[in-house]
Amino acid sequence: MLAGRLFCFSPSKRSSQPTLSEPFVHVLRSLISSHSFFVLDAGVVLSYSRTELTNPHSLSTSPPRLGAVKLPPTAVMVDKIMLLFLLLDFLFVASGGLLIATVFINKASMATQPTTTNVAANMVLMQTPLTSSRPLISKFVSANQATGVIVNAVLIFVTFLISLPGAALSTNRLWLKLTGWMIAATAHVTLVRGVTIWFSTLQTRANLGTTFEQQSLLSQSLIQQKFQCCGYLNSPFTPDSVCTSAFVAAQKVNCVGPFSNFANSLLHRIFTALFGLVGLDVALLLAVVVVLKNRAEKARYRHIDEKNGINGGF
């Protein structure tokens, strides 16, 4: 790509035997490999061997040979960079859809009749921003957590829409710069939510105790049946098929241990997934930086072509 553009001469400047000037030969020497190098001269593909390119005298005395086009590795690299950017961009917007879907799926799950299968997970999810039933039990978190997650997802969608003109306009860098700032903001918001959930795992027992006491007797009984325990910590047990009497309840463990272990395992998966989304954001941000650098480099050589009076360009 680089060599093809540097040596693209207009037909009016073409001589009967095209030659290469000394400055261009120096550039070619830095790009040359063990293969033959091909240069475009007024739309004609010219073939120069490695020996000819390292010897400027041979270029001026012998006419070039017509040869098949063999693009240098830089041309392929540009395509790979853009393909990688587009792949990460689509994964990025998919993560926004995943956030919204998770909120509504969890909300629908919590609206169903509690059973031994879903009661524990629903009670744990009440402490995360992935449902809209109640706020997270923490003074550092606002009251409407689910709305915040949806806003985060909408921010991802807006960022994706901004990235589309940046990807389509091959010479434009303003849209990509704006995309980079939006990605950074989105990653920051997602990271804060992940850290918030991680911080809540340091207070799992206390948080679950408050949640457990606020549940109906049916939900408390289902927790006891699921974990084969009686009561939470110091709270009284709920009589059911597991805890039939005070004597039986005294023989069983409190629910605080098995319930907290279950909650920590679920919360670990949730904040790990959020941190994974942050990793995707960082990867996309790096891809934006690479594309910006590539376009700046192409603009630099395009200006060099214009100064040298060469038609075409990057």
Q: Per residue of the chain (314 residues), what is the pLDDT tens digit?
A: 444 434 433 344 444 444 444 444 444 444 444 444 444 443 344 444 445 445 555 544 555 444 444 445 544 444 688 899 999 999 999 999 999 898 888 888 888 888 888 899 888 888 776 554 443 333 333 334 567 788 889 999 999 999 999 888 877 889 999 999 999 999 999 999 889 889 888 888 888 888 888 888 999 999 999 999 998 887 788 898 899 888 888 888 889 999 999 999 999 999 999 999 999 999 999 999 999 998 888 878 777 777 776 655 45
Q: Residue 112 region, left (φ>0) first, then alpha (ψ -120 to 50), else beta?
A: beta
The pLDDT value given to residue 25: 45
The pLDDT value given to residue 161: 95
DSSP states along 82-118: HHHHHHHHHHHHHHHHHHHHHHHHHHHHHHSPP-TTT
The pLDDT value given to residue 158: 95
pTM over 0.85: no
Instruction: Return the sign of the alpha-carbon dihedral for residues 284, 290, 296, 299.
Output: negative
The structure tokens 């006491």 sit at 213
Provide the terminal-to-terminal Cα distance of the chain, rounded to the nearest Å: 8
The pLDDT value given to residue 92: 95
Tell me how far apart the alpha carbons of residues 281 and 291 are, in angstroms, rounded to a whole number. Answer: 15
Tell me how far apart the alpha carbons of residues 153 and 136 are, in angstroms, rounded to a whole number. Answer: 19
The pLDDT value given to residue 310: 65
The pLDDT value given to residue 131: 53
Specify the DSSP class assigned to residue 63: P
3-state helix, strand, coil in the chain (%, to 5): 65, 5, 30
CB 78 within 8 A of CB 85: no
Tell me how far apart the alpha carbons of residues 85 and 220 are, in angstroms, rounded to a whole number. Answer: 49
Looking at residue 104, its amino acid is F
Tell me how far apart the alpha carbons of residues 235 and 243 are, in angstroms, rounded to a whole number. Answer: 14
Looking at residue 8, its amino acid is C
